[in-house]
Each structure stands twice: as structure tokens, then as C-alpha cells.
Chain A
Amino acid sequence: MTAPAIETRELRKNYGDVRALSGLDLTVDRGEFFGLLGPNGAGKTTFINTLVGLVHKDSGTAEVFGFDVEDDYREARDRIGLAPQEFNVDRFFPIIEVLEHKAGYHGIDSEEARRRAEDALKTVGIWEKRDTRFNWLSGGMKRRFVLARALVSDPDLLILDEPTAGVDVQLRHDLWDIINRMNDEGTTILLTTHYIEEAERLCDRVAIMDSGRKVEVAAPDELMARGTDTIDLGLADPPRTAPRLDVEGVTEVAVTDGGLSVTAAGGSQTAPALMRELERTGHTVTSLDIRRASLEEVFVDLTRDDREYAEVSA
């Protein structure tokens, strides 16, 4: 059987009294575009650094394409390209040489390393800056360069830790195009981001992490379907107080200027029954608008629930 791109079981890591990872179980399939969402301190970067050897786990297992990240670290790391959140770039050399060195560390001979370095710089659009040192690049170019460095070893697993943090819209879309192309060509992508729209747009599946563990994992659409939608109803004769609506799925009813705002799980399934109930109680519905729950709302709900659970457990 083919091993998944990433598989962790009961992965734990503590920093003193702080639990960074508390029994994380996660599987990322080969070729998948996988998002990792979570508030600051959720354990996302610790998880990534465990995969590449910058963090030593306390217990549990972590494998990359079937290779244990500690026992078979050379095989595991050879398959990973990492674009970290922080700029950890060698400032002594022009950027093209930094890329050649990185390729060389992966065992790629000098001629091929040069070719790959050139390709990577062209791919991310900073070829003309090849003889410049990292310090002298603009913020956006630095972000592009970090991606180029992750690409230069032609990884099977590309890990991107907040790749579009602080970049403008145009660059964000450029980076999305590059990452999508890599994924289309078969590279597994692990993306952490604070931009929910990014996860919604790019990822096949997302895991929501909080307090060092996985809270939920599903396709963005599935997660959004689990959220509560908002149904805005226009009424010919708006009531002064919210009526009691005996409809399955409805969680909250509020009076608005021209009608009602109803919160319900699965808005499109609930709407017909809702309209029938309103007409049965003497109201005339003049308009209807369903606003789907965004992934951001689901994310906030899930992480809030998890914190409440953690507080109660404690």
C-alpha cells in the first residue's frame, strides 16, 4: 500500500508547561492540497517543524511518504520543500547562489543546481534580481524568493507556512497560481494560513487545529455546510417581536426592518419549510435571501467551542 504524504499518530510536544502538540493525529494524502487553519499558538508551526527536524517530538510518530522523520530523516527531508513564515535566508550570498547551495545540500550536482536555481527564480518572477543579496529585496520579492528556495529541490511535498502573510493582492494571486500549478503537477501541498479565503479557494481539505490538536478535518464545502446559514426574509407585515417558528434546524430568529433574520443549519434545506410555516401563521413572504456560513465563521465557531471544551475540562 502506498504511504500517505504525511501521517502522524499521537504526536506530542511540550515546551515546559506549554503543550504545543497534544496527541495530533493527521493524514495528508499524496497529491492533496491540504490546509492547516488555527489561531496563533495552535501548534501549526511546531507541527511543520517536527516534520523537517527543527523540533524534536516528545512522543508519537510522524512519517513523510512512509519515512519516519527522525529514524529516516534523510529520506523524509529529501522529499520536503519548506517555505517558512520567518525569513531564514543566508545573507552572505547573491540569491541565485543561495538556491544553488540549497540544491547542492539535496545532492544535486552543480550544473543541474544552476539550471534549477535559474528556473526557480524565473518561476517566481525575480530572475532579474539573481545577483542581489536577500537583504536588498523588497518584502514581496523576499516572499517570492522563499518560495523559490522551497521549489529548487523539486519536492514531493511542499510545505508553505503563511506564504502570503503581508503581501499585496496581486502577489497573493501570483503565488496562488504557482502553488496551484505545482499541485496540478502532482506535488502535495501543506498550507498554513490565516487567510480563510485562501484555504477556501485552494484546499481540497482543511484541518482546523487548536491547542495542539486537530479539531476538525474536512473539505471546505463540507465544513461550511456544517455551519449556520442566515436566511433574510422580507415580510409584508413585519411583526414587532420575533415569532416562535416550529421548524427543524432553526436556531435563532430576529426581527429586522422589513422582516426577519433567521439563523439555521443548512439554509437552503430549511427555507421551504420556513416559508410554509410563516404563511401558515398568517405572514406574507415578499423576499428571501440565503447567506451561506463562511469558512471563517465555521472556523471561529469550532475553535471557540474547542476552547470552551478545554476550559470546562480543565
Chain B
Amino acid sequence: MNRNTTQFLTLVRREILRFVRRPYNTFLPPIITNTLYFAVFGVILGSRIGEIAGVSYLQFVLPGLVVLGAISDSFENASFTIFHGRWNDYIQAVLTSPMSNRSMVTAYVSASALRGIVTSLLIVGVGLVFTPVPVANPLYLVAFLLIITTLFGGLGVIGGLWATDFDYLTVMNQFILRPLVFFGAVFYSLEVLPPLWRNVSLLNPMVYMVNGVRYGMIGVTEIDPNTSLAVLTGVTAVVLAIDFLLFKRGYGLAE
């Protein structure tokens, strides 16, 4: 194994160990939260709603909940690890090493994306307790999950560099990401909205993510999945380029 690979894998391993060894902080909360979602929205309310797009309400909301968990955790992982490392200065052990800036960013984003994917699988596991989980288009499902978690891992890096206090992390996750996802057609179909709000919803990037994963799982979408995938890939590339640039300039990292 060459030196660059060793450097990269060491940081990825460190990042994975950090979240794997603290399951009460990382994996238990999405399991509990999603059990509650399924119980309340799926079983209690869902039985009164009936089918949407030819599937049960539980199966309809499951992809949205997967997206919510995946992006929250991939974003939270990257933003927390960068910010906490800055707050306590231990990120300097990485910064003063001979790792390339790109390698550092790629390691932080990869580990964060992995955490988002693990969370997705846990949510699917919880969903299986309540309903059969279809996988209509597995390649699209994998592609969307990979690109979504990478995108939010990349955004988390920017958030972690920008934050100057823990409050910033809360603001980004609770007041920006969650509302966008909740209004991103997680719990309802765009078809039920009046035309004006339907068009407004299309400005919300989460709609494309939720629809993409929904297409991968139940084969139903209101937006062309290839277009969504292409746009999300482009946005992810831009975000990663910004990450690289910020690390190179030492934004939030060097004086």
C-alpha cells in the first residue's frame, strides 16, 4: 500500500471508529426516532390515509425518512468532526501531517457518507418491522444514496469550517436541513399540493433527492430520476471543489 493510501485510510478509519464506538450518540437516535415516525405516521395515521401512488402510506414515506436520516447524519458527522477538531485544536494533528488537502477532505467526506448510508440501512431495518420494503430499482437507489450522502458530507465540511460555536451546528441541522426535508415531499405527494405550492416545492433540492430514492425503492417518481441524478452529481462536484479550496486556503483552519 502506498503512503498516500495509508494516510487516507488512517483518517477514514479514525473517523469511522469515532462514530462506531459511540452508538448511543450516532445510531440509536435514528432507530428510536424512525420507530416513532413509523408508529405514528405510518401505523396510526397511515391506516386512515390509504394508498398513495399505488403503495401503502408506510411504503410511501419510508424513502423520505431514509433521505432525512441519511442527509442529517452525513452532514452532522462531517460538520461535528471538523468543528470539534477545531474547537479542541486536535485537527492540527491532521493538518500538520504530510497528507494532501484533497486527501483530508476526501477522507472526512467518505467517512461521513458512510455514516449516512449506515443510518439509511438502519432506517430500512426499522421499516422492515412495520412493512415489506420493496427495492424496485436497486442501481438508482444505490446511486442516489451515494450521491446524497457525499453531497451532505461535503456540505458538512463547509459547515464545520464556518461554525464558530456549537450553536451554528444546531442552526444548520435543525433550522435549515430539517425544514427543507419536511417540505421535500417526505410525507405527502406533490400531486396533493395546489399548483403554486407544487411549483415552489420544485425549488427545494430535497424534493429531487426524496423522489430519487423513492424511485429506487418503490419505482414511483414525480420527477425524472436521471435529471435529478445529473443535477445532484453536478452540485456535489461543486461542493467538493469548494471543500478542497477552503482546505487549501486554510479557511477556519489556519491563521
Interface residues of A (CB under 8 A from B): 15, 49, 52-56, 73-75, 77-78, 80, 82, 84, 86-93, 97-98, 100-102, 104-110, 113, 149
Given contacts A15-B255, A91-B90, contact A56 B250 (CB under 8 A): yes
Convert B76-115 into 0s and 1s, putting 1 for each residue whose CB lies closer than 8 angstroms to a CB of A.
0000000001001110111111111000000000000000
A109-B6 in contact (CB<8A): yes
Residue in B21, B92, B250 whose beta carbon sits within 8 Å of that of A88 in the complex: B92
A107-B93 in contact (CB<8A): no
Q: When chains A and B are docked, how far (Å) is the Cα of A31 from the Cα of B10?
A: 31
A104-B88 in contact (CB<8A): no
In the A-B complex, list the 5 residue pairs whose CB atoms are closest, starting with the nearest.
Answer: A104-B10, A107-B3, A88-B89, A105-B97, A78-B98
A109-B7 in contact (CB<8A): no
Q: When chains A and B are docked, how far (Å) is the Cα of A277 from the Cα of B248?
A: 69
A86-B98 in contact (CB<8A): no
B139 beta carbon closer than 8 Å to chain A:
no
B: contact size bracket: 20 to 34
Residue in B3, B90, B253, B255 whose beta carbon sits within 8 Å of that of A90 in the complex: B90
Interface of A is mostly: mixed
B residues in contact with A100, CB < 8 Å: 10
A residues in contact with B100, CB < 8 Å: 74
B192 beta carbon closer than 8 Å to chain A:
no
A105-B99 in contact (CB<8A): yes
A53-B96 in contact (CB<8A): yes
Given contacts A55-B255, A89-B90, contact A77 B7 (CB under 8 A): no
B6-A54 in contact (CB<8A): no
Q: Which residue of A lies closest to B85 (CB)?
A: A90
B4-A80 in contact (CB<8A): no
A residues in contact with B95, CB < 8 Å: 52-54
Q: Which residue of B lies closest to A55 (CB)?
A: B255
A108-B6 in contact (CB<8A): yes
Q: Which residue of B lies closest to A107 (CB)?
A: B3
Give B54-94 interface residues, CB cut-off 8 Å to A.
Answer: 85, 88-90, 92-94
Other contacts beyond A54-B254, A84-B92, A90-B93: 10, CB < 8 A? A55-B255, A56-B254, A88-B88, A88-B90, A101-B11, A101-B93, A104-B6, A105-B11, A106-B97, A149-B93
Convert B196-223 into 0s and 1s, putting 1 for each residue whose CB lies closer than 8 angstroms to a CB of A.
0000000000000000000000000000
B17 beta carbon closer than 8 Å to chain A:
yes
Q: Which residue of B lies closest to A105 (CB)?
A: B97
Q: When chains A and B are docked, how far (Å) is the Cα of A80 from the Cα of B98?
A: 9
B97-A102 in contact (CB<8A): yes
Q: When chains A and B are docked, how far (Å) is the Cα of A78 from the Cα of B90?
A: 18
B10-A105 in contact (CB<8A): yes
